[in-house]
Structure formats: C-alpha cells, structure tokens
Amino acid sequence: MARSCARLRLEKGFVLDCVAVDTVARAYGSMRPKLWSAIPPYNAQQDPHACGYFCSRPVPAVLRRTNQDHGGTGQDGWIVDYFHIFGQGQRYLNRRNWAGAGHSLQQVTGHDYYNAFPKLSPGFSGRFGYRRNTPALRQRSSVFGEVTPFPLY
C-alpha cells in the first residue's frame, strides 16, 4: 500500500508540458541572444555531484578572490540565468502548471489507469455465453428467459 501511495504521489508531481515547452522554445529559438531554452542553463556550483570539488580545500578561497562565491552562474552569464527563472516564457509555463495544465487522469494514475475502468465486452458468444445464430436457437426461448429479436430469414 505504501509503495502505491508513494508512486501515486510521484506521478501526481509529474507534469507533461512538452507541447507548451516546445512552443515557447521555438518562439525564443530565433531570437539573438538566445535568452531562454527548454534545457535550463548548467551551473556547476549548484550541481550536487560537483559539491566535493567546490568544497575541497583550495577552491573556496579562489572563488572568494574572483568574486564567484555567491552560488555561481551558468556558462552564458547571470542574465541568461535570470531570464530562465523570471523571463516571460518561464512565467507562462509556471502559471500554466500552477493552474493544473499538464495533468490528466491518465498521466497522474500512470500504469494503474490501464485496467482501472474495464468495460464489459460480450464478444461473439453473446450475453449468455453461447451463440444464437441458428434458426433453431432463435425460435426457442433462452434458458435464461430471453428471446432474441432477430428474424428467421
């Protein structure tokens, strides 16, 4: 039970906004300088996997001396970082996702949605489990009390 609740919580946090991101990225793709991209700018000082390097003995002193000890910036500079967080494209996506767009029942329930609401399918054998497609079976009433409305010819 706990695993399914945890998985449902993770799936509820998933936002599928690829169409909106693609639209915004295409709009900003032809602009120069390119201020917004679908991929966020990389900042090595905020990368948890590079924390060991930035915490090693000589590096903090070098960062203080070069005035880079305030969290760092991406390779394209602080203006691109700022625009990626507070720019018009990102504000649009944030408002869209806060309003609930990008979520649907199929996306939130994930693989559990596949057989969540099965519909009864009678198939070829009909409702009672056998075929009623011969004249003899059509003339006699059903064992279950149903007479078929189909004509004999």
pLDDT at 151: 67
pLDDT given at position 52: 92
Quick: pLDDT tens for 74-127.
888 888 888 888 988 889 888 888 877 776 666 556 666 677 777 776 666 666
For residue 53, what pLDDT is reported?
93
Question: If we measure between CA atoms, which residue out of 101, 79, 77 comes closest to residue 23?
Answer: 101
- Contact by Cβ (8 Å): 144, 128: yes
Q: In sequence order, which residues have a C-beta less than 8 Å from that of residue 59 and are 6 or more positions away?
A: 53
The pLDDT assigned to 49 comes to: 94
Token readout for 43 is 């900042």
The whole-chain average pLDDT of the chain stands at 77
Q: Report CA 74 to chain centroid distance, whole Å.
A: 27
Is 110 within 8 Å of 11 (Cβ atoms)?
yes
Q: Is residue 70 over pLDDT 90?
A: no
Domain ranges of the chain: 2-120, 121-153
- What mean pLDDT do residues 18-29 have? 84
Return the pLDDT at 59.
Answer: 92
